[in-house]
């Protein structure tokens, strides 16, 4: 398909922004895709165009590579989430520590939609910031699940698509380090200022690692990773 290109699953958070920078560093043309699944708050979706614009403004060498952005409406995900759970499943889900609205296999869905879009756009690489190191309780972020899905996708679409997972085996401190390797302190600052990770959608509280409530699991992970990154120098 001529130039090397990639489609990045891009949520506007720290991980997918680092993944986007990784792809911009590596490929000639990079498109992004996001999913509107009626997120609890819109802060995450709002971050997407802001982060893209900031990347293009701060890194002229990447600006020309940054292609179209796609946002797909996944209202059906909310519908599945709202479907009543049986008592057995509800108890099993609580034992997992996951919320009762959890839709299992969500990342598989995102990847299949992204693969269909990539096919139509003539793009042969997907890149996603999933990671099994900071165990999140989401089995569809694990390496086995992603690799099995690549096989299913390529059989089911009669194509050759590769799912790239540059963050799979690194922890949050190493993710900050990867950002610095790719774009220096300028990229670290951009990620701190512009990306959004907090589950609560909090943009009112500012910390050295960015904005957020500071208490939710996502904030705790981001803060600890940033602390370890700075401590290592």
Question: Which residues in this chain contact a second copy in the complex, by CB under 8 A?
Answer: 1-2, 70, 72-77, 79-81, 83-86, 88-89, 103-109, 112-113, 115-117, 119-122, 139-140, 142, 144-145, 148-149, 151-153, 155-159
Q: Give whichever of 18 and 107 is closer to a second copy, judged by the CB atom.
A: 107
> Least distance from C-beta 122 to a second copy, angstroms?
4
DSSP 107-139: HHHHHHHHHHHHHHHT--EEE----SSS--S-G
- Contacts with 201 (C-beta within 8 Å, 6 or more apart), sequence order: 40, 41, 42, 43, 44
Number of neighbours of residue 208 by Cβ within 10 angstroms = 9
> Least distance from C-beta 129 to a second copy, angstroms?
16
> Least distance from C-beta 197 to a second copy, angstroms?
22
Q: Give whichever of 157 and 216 is closer to a second copy, judged by the CB atom.
A: 157
The count of C-alpha atoms lying within 13 angstroms of the C-alpha of 24, restricted to the half-sphere facing its C-beta, is 26
Q: Give whichever of 146 and 190 is closer to a second copy, judged by the CB atom.
A: 146
Q: Cα–Cα distance between 178 and 181 in angstroms, integer?
A: 5
Q: Give whichever of 1 and 204 is closer to a second copy, judged by the CB atom.
A: 1
Q: What is the chain's alpha carbon radius of gyration, rounded to the nearest angstrom?
A: 18
- Contacts with 203 (C-beta within 8 Å, 6 or more apart), sequence order: 43, 196, 211, 212
- Contacts with 50 (C-beta within 8 Å, 6 or more apart), sequence order: 12, 194
> Least distance from C-beta 3 to a second copy, angstroms?
11
Q: Give whichever of 58 and 80 is closer to a second copy, judged by the CB atom.
A: 80
> Least distance from C-beta 116 to a second copy, angstroms?
5
């Amino acid at each position: 398909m001529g130039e090397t290109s990639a489609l990045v699953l891009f949520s506007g958070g720290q991980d997918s922004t680092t993944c986007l920078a990784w792809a911009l560093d590596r490929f000639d043309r990079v498109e992004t895709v996001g999913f509107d699944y009626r997120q609890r708050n819109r802060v995450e979706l709002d971050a997407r165009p802001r982060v893209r614009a900031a990347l293009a403004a701060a890194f002229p060498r990447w600006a020309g590579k940054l292609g179209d952005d796609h946002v797909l409406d996944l209202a059906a995900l909310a519908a599945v989430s709202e479907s009543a759970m049986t008592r057995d499943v509800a108890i099993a889900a609580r034992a997992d520590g996951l919320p009762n609205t959890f839709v299992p296999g969500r990342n598989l869905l995102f990847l299949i939609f992204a693969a269909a879009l990539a096919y139509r756009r003539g793009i042969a690489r997907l890149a996603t910031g999933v990671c099994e190191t900071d165990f999140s309780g989401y089995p569809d972020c694990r390496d086995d699940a992603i690799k099995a899905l690549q096989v299913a996708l390529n059989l089911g679409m009669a194509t050759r698509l590769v799912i790239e997972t540059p963050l799979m085996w690194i922890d949050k401190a190493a993710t900050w380090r990867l950002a610095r390797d790719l774009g220096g302190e300028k990229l670290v600052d951009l990620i701190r200022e512009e990306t959004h990770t907090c589950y609560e959608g909090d943009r009112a509280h500012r910390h050295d690692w960015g904005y957020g409530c500071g208490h939710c699991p996502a904030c705790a992970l981001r803060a600890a990773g940033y602390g370890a990154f700075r401590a290592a120098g």
